[in-house]
Amino acid sequence: MLVAPGATTTPARSSALPPLNAQAVAFGPDAVPFYGSASSYRNGLPRGWSESSDAIGAFADMYKWARVVYMENACALPGVNIKFDTFIPYMWKAVRLGYVQAQHAEFVHLGLRWGFEVGLHPDRVHGHRFFKNYESSTSPAARARVTDATEARVSAGKTLHLGAMGPDTLSLMRQVFDAAYIFPMGATAKPLEPTKLRPTDDHTRTGLNAACDMTGPPSLSYSIEAYAEMGRRFLPGFAAHVTDVEAAFPMLPFAPWVWPFMFHRFYPSEGDPRALHLYCHLTGDFGTRGMPGVFKIFFVDVVLNMARAAHVLTIPMSVYVDDLCATGPKASTVTRRVVTFQTWAEEVCGVTFKQIKDKAGSQVQLFVGFWWDSFAGTRTLEERKLFQYMDMFLAFSERKTLSLHERQVAAGRMQRAVMIMTKIGEKPSARIHHTLNVPPPYKIHVFTLKKNSDAIFFKAKLVSWWGRSATGRRRTSQGR
């Protein structure tokens, strides 16, 4: 081609579009806000950490793993099994195919590279706040079981054990970290494992949850649609297969600059039984306000849609936090497709499932506390919950006052009771739909005669509807 001297030429246009990869960044109002990338580190540690102030190396493990995140990625932490090198290419391919939103992909990419910030920013967390644990975790009946749960996280690499707390530990924390919290820990029973307790992390008390910005983008707030989805998808004669994600929230890493707000203290199984030891979560826990929203984006908006893009997940799947329910016209086919998805998710993403607890495809299936019957078109409370609810409504109908917590429990149970008083997809009557309004957070509230009658009404309805559901239930383990 002849070109005039000094003239510029347009380079030949490449037929291949540049791939979306680690350099892909959204701009404008849809850009994902993120603080803890490389520019926020000093000497391989998050800004606000003073390693030189730690002469005894009390927090040496935190420095070591923070530098691993800085040099490699957050998936290199010992308690994180996400396969960064295979996950990221598959995710951006799903973006190009239109299955995953670019904003969600960027959010997850940043989180897997640098750790998830769960809606936090250093400008919203200040000072040093240290709290003691609640009696629900330290009582003689609970202490050993909470210790077991804590050490299970430590052995899995999801929590750091920083050693015994000395008289100068709190003072040293103030010197090393510009801001740090020790949250109070409680414990609650596991419904399906009565011999175990689940430690609960009270980040509301420290103020951390109030500092979480849930607006995004992307927004960390969402509504659970599992009940409505099951009502639409569980068609007459359809089968459902139920599975559960293994260690859902603890699967995802916190950003290193968030770690100082994840301190807690408890008793180890060995050594002086009176000595408290210091621990620090490196991965997600139960109690951080932004964690459910982070997991929802990671798993529902990204992983499930990656599987659809790869034509691995080809049937509808309803998600209730970490419980999954796939539905389809034939039980054996539904189970086979769920197993295919589980295998793919583990090999490509590093996401594992509690397959030993899977409930194989059936037209009568237990999911989120209800027995769903695709033949009768009904959902029925588990029997143990049914009697528990009836006893509570009867007891509350005779009470003149209820605490805030009791009213919240009653409201939740009434809402669930409403759902068994109609066939799937039907709307309840106005009286049945009425639930206890949860008032402002005062300690004690008057339980009016009107609400006493509501409690009696709900108990009577539970008795009558339970009888209908029981007589109409038909169990089928195999599909057509």
Question: Which tens digits make up the pLDDT trace of 258-306?
Answer: 999 999 999 999 888 889 999 999 999 999 999 999 999 999 999 999 9
- Whether 330 and 337 have beta carbons less than 8 Å apart is answered as no
- Domain presence at residue 197: yes
The residues of the chain scoring below 70 in pLDDT are 1-30, 192, 421-480
For 283, phi then psi, to 5°, come to -125, 175
What pTM did the predictor assign? 0.84
**299 and 397 housed in the same domain:** no
Range of the domain at 399: 380-472
Give pLDDT, residue 114: 97
Give pLDDT, residue 30: 67
Burial of 357 (0-12, 13-18, 19+ CB in 10 A): exposed
- Where among 264, 289, 312 does a domain terminate? 312
Give pLDDT, residue 410: 79
Burial of 199 (0-12, 13-18, 19+ CB in 10 A): buried
Nearest CA to 227 out of 39, 419, 19 is that of 419
| Total domains in the fold of the chain | 2
Give pLDDT, residue 95: 96
What is the overall mean pLDDT for the chain? 84
Give pLDDT, residue 386: 80
Q: Which helix (H) or strand (E) holds 30?
A: none
**162 and 306 housed in the same domain:** yes
DSSP β-ladder status, 323-328 and 317-320: antiparallel
Tens digits of per-residue pLDDT, 433-468? Answer: 444 443 443 333 444 445 566 666 666 666 665 534
**54 and 192 housed in the same domain:** yes
**68 and 171 housed in the same domain:** yes
**159 and 293 housed in the same domain:** yes
- Domain presence at residue 17: no
d(CA 145, CA 125): 32
**42 and 178 housed in the same domain:** yes
- Whether 316 and 111 have beta carbons less than 8 Å apart is answered as no
Residue 454 CA, distance from chain mean position? 34
- Domain presence at residue 41: yes
**300 and 418 housed in the same domain:** no
